[in-house]
Every structure is written in structure tokens, then in C-alpha cells.
Amino acid sequence: MSAPPQSKGEPITSKAQLVEYLEQGNKPRADWRIGTEHEKFAYCLESFRPLPYEGERSIRAVLEALRPLGWEGIEEEGKVIALQAKQCNITLEPGGQLELSGAPVENLHQTCAEVNGHLEQMREVAQPLGVGMLGMGFNPKWPREDIPWMPKGRYAIMRRQMERRGKLGLDMMLRTCTVQVNLDFSDEADMVKKFRVSLALQPVATALFANSPFTEGKPNGFTSYRSHIWTDTDPDRCGILPFVFEEGMGFERYVDYMLDVPMYFVFREGRYIDVAGQSFRDFMKGELPGLPGEIPGMGDWSDHLTTAFPEVRLKRFLEMRGADAGPWKSLCALPALWVGLLYDDQSLDAAWDLVKDWTHEDHQAFRDQTPKLGLKAKVGGRSMQDLALATLEIADAGLARRDKMSHSGLDERQYLRTLWDVARSGITPAEDKLRAYETRWNGSVDPLFKEHAYY
């Protein structure tokens, strides 16, 4: 959501250019990569309060402290709002959540090394500032009005539009964190198959990573409240996209979907122009009310693709978006799950066999039940726990066939261990924390900020 804006780029005069843009994501198997992103809450170690942007103990102070460690600042109106180094970015979410957008790497061992290096670096700069970092799907303690807004122009526009479109959009912006992985495809048919499998099985990831059971210090009745929030954020740009499972799905069909998603903004000369609710189709005709007579460039299309929030999102790769943020070890588990399912042909076929007969009602039922029930969701006589175990078996086999060994002689299956523990027990991370809340935490969420912090 918070990637730096693109330059205007090549003028767009036809829909074919938009389709071609997505087709440019096609890659031979040898060039497939793994890109992992994860968000975290930054807070004051003494009070557990979220950090403001400015001040001695602040988001800006954290970003500035990272600069000497090899990061270059990206500024907006004189304020650093992101960092970049090589192929990585550290970006700033609306409520001060810090996100690492990792480099595209070849295997999960490299992914885990990147995650470990990043969190060690965060420890190095944050501890002297009295700042902690927490991986949860939803802020467990603070109400919306206590979360400071970050100074990014796109967020001011999105804030106004979110207030018009749903009840929970501002909570999504200010109080949620996720971990996701971006994966490649070889051609249109491969993209469609991976899109269908990952979209159908996204509730499995939601259940296995469910980690947002508290709101403002109290249980909220959900295992993944973050996942529930997306159901009342903006119906124009969220959901499970039934057309993905229909005949005729391909790059052009997704372009048609994105052309129907209302715009948020256009970036020109260092500032965001509010065109919320206006049509990219009109923009292509030079009839956008916010910029009359102007046609978009490919940078505008690239930016527009980031403003839809389905469970799986297509750019020039596929983004898996169903998981809550969680503890250190879970950050490697999410890419392991999807790489094992999607980057091995036998596993991809087996995963498709799991879901190919599902109806739209089945897909929607799992999507509706899972945020509340987690692994206890049940559709058509099949429990989410059974589905999770079957999915992990397929992913495990796929990672074994990849046969990517670490320096210590272990293959990529090691990163699934934490998910096997969850699936076999039937107890989500959220339920584990609820038990602690009801017993040894004595009805307080404050211990979360110590027991489950990254350091």
C-alpha cells in the first residue's frame, strides 16, 4: 500500500498497453523469485504507546537512525517517509507501521537471512531510542484516535475516501499489520492457475496465521480481526474476486476489473492530486475531472494497481495477502507455505485438486467463517483444520522436491515447522494469546508487548 509513487512514464493510449504491462511479469522458471514483505508496530517501551512521526522517540528518529547503516532516504515535502537499499525498501504505513519490502531472492534460506538481518538492524537502532517492535495482525491496545497519522499525501486522500466507503477502513490503515509474499508466474495460464489456487486457499493462511484477537485491550471475538476488517473497508476494491474462477480469466480480465476500481490519486510534480472516486477509463480518454485533458502514463497505472486490496493481488507478480503479522519465526513460514504450493508443478496440481470443485458459495463461506473461527471453520463437512493439514502436506512435499539446502544441510521444509505445530494442535496464535490473557496475564494485554516483541 505504501510503495513510493511511480514517475508518469509512457503515455497510455489503449487497453492493450495495460494488458501488456501485466504480461511483462511472465518469467521462465529459472528467474522466479521470492519477495517477502512484513509490517510491524513500533511503540514506546515504557508506555506501549504508538510512536508519533516527530520527536526524540519517534518514527522519524528510527528512520534517521537507519540511514548510516546503508539506507538512502526518500522524502516527501522535506520529511523522510521511506528508505531504500539495493532492492529493498522500508516504507511507512498510515499509523506508523514499519514495513520491510524485501529483495527478490532465489530461496527461502535467503528470505530468512534477510528477515533476520533486518530485525537485527531494527534492534540496533530502536533499543537506544527506547522503542520496541511487535508483530500482530491488529493493534491490541490503543483506540483509533490514539494512533498518529503519518505525513504522506496519499494517506490523506485515502483517509477521506475510506470514511465514505466503509466502517473499518481507517482501522485497516491505522491498526493492522500483515506479512505477505510476492511470487512469479511463467505465462498467462500459469498465472491463472496460481491465482485460483492461492485465492481459494487464502483462508488457510488466514487461519494458520490468525493473530489479532484483541481490540483496545479486550477480546474482540475474532481470531483474525485484521481479516474481518477487510470485509467492511471498501467493497469496490476488496474481496475474493469470483471472476478469477470463471472461464475467460486472464490478464485482460484483471485489467477490466482494475479499470472498474475507482481511483484514489494521481502523483504529479511531487504532490498527490485527489481524484478519489474518478475513473481510470475516463483518464485514458483525457476526460478525468481532476486532470482535464491529460492522459495517464504507465506510472499512473502502476500506482493504480496498488490501490486495490483483494485477498490475492496481481501486479507483474502475485501477492498473497491473507495473513496476520506475527512472531519472528512466522515471517519465514508464510513464504514457505506459498512457495511449497505454487513453485512446484506437482504441488500446484495437488492444491488445485483440493479446490477445483468448490462453488462460489464454498469460497465465500470459508472467507466469512475464518476470521472468527480460525481452524474451527467448517464448510461442506470439511473443517479448516483438515484443510490446513492437507495444504501443509502438499507444501511440504513441494519444498522437498525443490531440494534447496541451507549451509547447515537442511532444506526449506524447516520453515513450515511452526505452521505444522499450529495445524496439528488446532490452536491458532490468537487462541494461544487469549488463553494467556484469561490466565497468567490477568485480563491485561500489556504482557504482549514484552513476551511477543521482536526483541
**How many domains is the chain built from?**
1
- The pLDDT tens digits of the residues spanning 87-134 come to 999 999 999 999 999 999 999 999 999 999 999 999 999 999 999 999
What is residue 2's predicted lDDT score, i.e. its pLDDT? 54
Assign residue 236 the CATH number of its domain.
3.30.590.20
- Tell me what pLDDT residue 341 has: 98
How much is the pLDDT for 377? 98
Mean pLDDT score, 220-232: 98
User: What mean pLDDT comes out for the span 287-301?
Assistant: 95
The predicted structure's pLDDT at residue 426: 98
User: For a pLDDT cut of 70, what percent of the chain falls above it?
Assistant: 98
Residue 416 domain-assigned (yes or no): yes
What is the pTM assigned to this prediction? 0.96
* Banded pLDDT at 6 (limits 50, 70, 90): low
Q: Give pLDDT, residue 8.
A: 76
**Residue 243 confidence (pLDDT) above 60:** yes
Of the chain, the percentage scoring pLDDT greater than 90 comes to: 96
280 domain-assigned = yes
pLDDT for the residue numbered 333: 98
Is 410 part of a structural domain of the chain? yes
Residue range 36-84, pLDDT digits in tens: 999 999 999 999 999 999 999 999 999 999 999 999 999 999 999 999 9
Q: Is residue 1 part of a domain?
A: no
- The model's pLDDT over 265-282, given as tens digits with 9 standing for 90+, comes to 999 988 999 999 999 999
Structure confidence at residue 9 (pLDDT):
81
Residue 4 has pLDDT above 90, yes or no: no
What integer pLDDT is reported at residue 374 of this predicted model? 98
In a domain, 5, yes or no: no
Instruction: Kindly report, residue by residue over 8-20, the tens digit of the pLDDT.
Output: 788 999 999 999 9
In a domain, 275, yes or no: yes
Residue 115 near residue 38 (C-beta atoms within 8 A): yes
Mean of the per-residue pLDDT values of the chain: 96
pLDDT-derived band of residue 380, with 50, 70 and 90 as boundaries?
A: confident
pLDDT, one tens digit per residue, over 167-217 is: 999 999 999 999 999 999 999 999 999 999 999 999 999 999 999 999 999
Q: Which domain holds residue 175?
A: 15-451
Average pLDDT over residues 381-400: 97
How many residues are recorded in the chain?
A: 455
Over 60: is that where the pLDDT of 3 sits? no
Q: In this predicted model, what pLDDT tens digit does every residue of 417-434 receive, in sequence order?
A: 999 999 999 999 999 999
Q: What is the pLDDT of residues 298-337, one digit of tens each?
A: 999 999 999 999 999 999 999 999 999 999 989 999 999 9
Look at residue 203 in the predicted model and tell me its pLDDT: 98
Residue 6 placed within a domain: no
Average pLDDT over residues 253-270: 95
| Residue 294 placed within a domain | yes
Which grid coordinates are listed for 173? 490503515
